[in-house]
A and B are shown apart, each in its own frame.
Chain A
Amino acid sequence: MSPEVLIGLTQSTGLLVLLSTGIGVTIGLIVGMIPGLTISTGIIVLLPVTFVLPADISIALLLGLYVGGMTGGSFSAVLLNIPGTPSASATAMDGYPMAARGEAGRALGIAITASFIGGMVSFLFLFSIAPLLANVALEFRTEDMFAVVFFGLTIICSFAAKSLIKGLLSAAIGLAIVTIGQDPVMGTQRFTFGQVNLMAGVHFLTAMIGLFAIPQLVANLTDGTGSASRVQTRLTSVLPKLSDLKAIRRSVSIGSLTGAFLGILPGAGGPIAAFISYEYARKASKRPDEFGTGVVEGVAAPESANNAVTGGALIPMMTLGIPGDPVTAILIGALIIHGLAPGPLMFLERADFAYGLIFSFLWANIFNFIIALAALRLLVKILATPRALLMPTVAVLCVIGSFALRNNFFDVYVMLLFGLIGLAMRWLDMPVVPLLLALVLGSQLEENLRVALTSSQGDISIFFTSPISLGFLILSLLSIVWSLRSARRANRVTSPPHKETPP
């Protein structure tokens, strides 16, 4: 082991770092559990708090929330048949039937255990692949980075499954918003209309708070269900039985590997990984017909997959500076705020911090397992909290968050404007994720394109002569074709498609 690995391990075990990991996990479990609060919202809301904390502590807190949230989503999926997060949607298919039979404790025990295994597998992926990939990524030139970012953007197509036009329109709006502010190459102003506040452009976190949190608040206000009264807070034995563990062996393996792999691909994220591994596990099972009636394998596969996504998604984030899913997009923002731009140089310049982050992720998974099992009975009681208390808090935190980002009240108006845009998009049934990805990747796309063309003096062949760039462009093409074909097939097979899931 190199000294940096040991320093990282030591840093991640500092008392305050461990404490904040644990707090993060607990908040994550709660946020994930409450329908109407997604992990993205939770992290966005918590972000301003981290501005005043040291970088390692903030990241430990946010990583804990990320991991805990993935598990917490299964609680409400099992108990209420309402997934707490979109990533837990697949869990409800077998989890709720189990709970309806009175086996809620058993289902949750399986979910927590599968989450833990999925998380640990993805930790191994992260620990072994990230430093190697960072070394390779150091050789990536501007034109290669353009191709990588472009590849990340093609994932938009898989979110546009229901309507390609709406998905592309959403992405186009995102790319257009990115052009506001200073031109990244010439430094001249674009679309600022003489407004100093627009010079720095729209901060993607400001936009994201508006796009995600505001429509969610409005939806919570209008659906009027109040708190959930059907919660079965009485749980029988939570610790999974040995026979159950044996039964889920295969589905957990499938879920963990699928999740970690899909996590690495930019943009795929938890919901997709959970559904795909549910499908794989069903096909690989000896009793595929019983899936959907409440079998443990059906809970284990998606739960191991969505937690495995977390470690996978951290890989492109740390090595390329490209988010693997919406949550890592926010994490990048958080790291940049602390002056730590994720990317290949992170392993060169701040290897101690990079390994500290990786080990914090390990602790987050271990804490998640322990806290979830030990405090389950207490945690599920929160499901009975009236939303009348919860949602105003979130609303206030949205305003604080968007202000604190740049200490500029103008950004609060920008956030509210994006709230309206988010509402309009929800009303038009237009997916928000393409817009978000375009906001996150758009400026990198433009900057790398233009710097590469500056470098080649306008010769476009630079993108095809570099083998790395060419390789990623081919991958992009494959990604587009694959997602369009699988979308068409999915539409044919399941004519009533499952409800659109925002992240």
Chain B
Amino acid sequence: MSILRHTLTGAIALGVVAATTPALAFPDKPIEFVIPFGAGGGADIEGRLLAKEMSKVLGVPVTPVNRTGGGGAVAYTHTKNAKPDGHTVVWNSTSVLTSTNLGNTDFLYDALDHVGRVEFQPQPFAVRADAPWKDFGEFVTACKAAPGTLKVANAGTGSSTHTAAVMLMNAVGCKVIHLPKGIKGRNKSVLNGEANAMIAPLTGAVNLTKAGKLRLLVMPTDTRSSIFPDVPTAKELGYNVSLDLFRGLSVPPNTPNEIKKILADAMAKAANSEAFLDLAKKKGFTVAPLGHEAFSKLLAEENVKVRAIFASAGLLPTK
């Protein structure tokens, strides 16, 4: 009983300290770093390294925890319901827009507080290296000549790559068959000719493109990739569309601004650490930290885009 009393006294004392000096109390214990996707994937590898670097900056362990399911819905729901004290952060991505708009959660992206963006990567449109279409224009011509026959593989309905595929095909005005395939199956299906093309995050296609097995025809993004500077952007080809895969940090709603600020600083430092920049160079993503304001603006813009694309594909839930 006395132990309990001591603990209680201690807790009350801590509470008093916390109440009087709120900004200094953070972080005072390990931070849970929620990763919405499975161990070993792109989100996981990048997230784990960022967490490690953040932990060096913050001086407390930043522990990666994979909470998978629902295209990110499980992780976002967990974070939304967590205590808004900064000790739970989620490694978000474009999935914070897609999984929510798909109706996997009963809230939208703005139910969370957003710390900032860390990185982004284009989602190239790739074909087999020996495919008959030398550039995107030839693919579009072939597609229009035989509508509804060419197959474009992507990660499946409501995924970021599917959203990009629908967006791109809407823009060029041709009908294709969307094949839902995980990244391994997607690469395989393009290589063996089952799918005519695919959309993948650049990190998922970079190895096979460098190995001369895949050819990138276009990237629906704003500026050319530094790794593949020969690949045109969609805008250069006259299609005014872009949708990048971004990753950043979000926290539970009503997290105090002082705490968000501390997290944002640590995030930016970790993103610009040597180890993280090395990984970016190796994997093909662009490190470009954005603060709370800029990221919120980006999220709002991208959300409008995603909703419009979902509406065109009939994916918005009818509530």
Contact = CB atoms under 8 A, between A and B. Distances in A.
Interface residues of A, number: 37
B47 interface: no
A138 B180 contact: no
B39 A337 contact: yes
Chain A CB count within 10 A is highest, among B40, B187, B191, for: B40
Interface in B64-89: 65-71, 73-74, 77-78
A338 B191 CA distance: 24
Nearest to B71: A187
Interface stretch (B151-159, B227-235, B272-280): B151-159
Given A186-B157, A407-B67, A455 B73 contact: no
A187 B156 contact: yes
A455 B181 CA distance: 11
B258 interface: no
B65 to A, nearest CB: 5
Interface in A241-279: none
A336 B38 contact: yes
B74 A51 contact: no
Main secondary structure of the interface of B (DSSP, over half): mixed
A339 B45 contact: yes
B311 to A, nearest CB: 16
Contacts of A336: 38, 40
A181 interface: yes
A286 to B, nearest CB: 51
A407 B88 CA distance: 14
Contacts of B221: none
Contacts, number: 99
Contacts of A337: 38-40
Contacts of A339: 38-41, 44-45
Contacts of B185: 142
A185 B45 CA distance: 26
Nearest to B151: A455
A65 B95 CA distance: 39
B184 interface: yes
A200 B37 CA distance: 11
B70 A196 contact: yes
Nearest to B182: A341
B55 to A, nearest CB: 16
Contacts of A475: none
B179 A451 contact: yes
Interface in B47-66: 65-66
B182 to A, nearest CB: 8
A485 interface: no
A407 B32 CA distance: 11
Nearest to A405: B66
B104 A138 contact: no
Interface string B12-47: 000000000000000000000000001111001100
Contact of B192 (A139, A340, A407): A139
Interface stretch (A41-49, A343-351, A389-397): A343-351
A51 B38 CA distance: 12
A184 interface: yes
A197 interface: yes
Contact of B102 (A187, A200, A338): A187
Given A185-B156, A187-B157, A455-B194, A197 B188 contact: no
A219 to B, nearest CB: 33
Given A142-B189, A187-B71, A339-B41, A406 B66 contact: yes
Contacts of B148: 457
Contacts of B192: 138-141
A263 B71 CA distance: 36
Contact of B39 (A338, A344, A451): A338
Contacts of B78: 196
Interface string A427-440: 00000000000000
Contact of A407 (B65, B151, B158, B208): B65
Give the most central of A186, A187, A197, A199: most B CB within 10 Å: A187
Contact of A200 (B41, B68, B157, B207): B68
Nearest to A341: B184
Contacts of B188: 138, 343-345
B184 A345 contact: yes
B171 interface: no
B177 interface: yes
Contacts of B180: 184-185, 447, 451, 454
A51 B177 contact: no
Interface string A374-388: 000000000000000
Contacts of A200: 68-70, 74
A338 B44 CA distance: 10
A330 to B, nearest CB: 16
A486 interface: no
User: Of B38, B39, B41, B194, which is in contact with the most chain A CB atoms at under 10 Å from its CB?
Assistant: B194
Contacts of B181: 142, 451
A187 B69 contact: no
Interface string A112-156: 000000000000000000000000001111100000000000000
- Identify the interface centre among B67, B71, B180: most chain A CB within 10 Å of its CB: B180
Chain B CB within 10 Å, residue with most, of A139, A181, A196? A196
A51 B194 CA distance: 35
Interface of B: 38-41, 44-45, 65-71, 73-74, 77-78, 102, 104, 148, 151, 156-159, 177-182, 184-185, 187-189, 191-192, 194, 207-208
23 contacts: A138-B188, A138-B191, A182-B71, A185-B156, A185-B157, A187-B102, A187-B156, A187-B157, A196-B73, A199-B73, A199-B104, A337-B38, A337-B39, A337-B40, A338-B39, A341-B182, A406-B68, A407-B65, A407-B67, A451-B180, A454-B177, A455-B177, A455-B194
Given A185-B157, A187-B71, A408-B67, 19 more contacts: A141-B194, A142-B181, A182-B71, A187-B104, A196-B74, A196-B77, A196-B78, A197-B69, A197-B74, A199-B70, A199-B74, A199-B104, A337-B38, A337-B39, A339-B40, A344-B188, A345-B187, A406-B66, A407-B67
The 6 residue pairs across chains A and B that have the minimum distance between CB atoms:
A339-B40, A200-B69, A199-B70, A199-B69, A187-B158, A141-B194
Interface of A: 51, 55, 138-142, 181-182, 184-187, 189, 196-197, 199-201, 336-341, 343-345, 349, 406-408, 447, 451, 454-455, 457
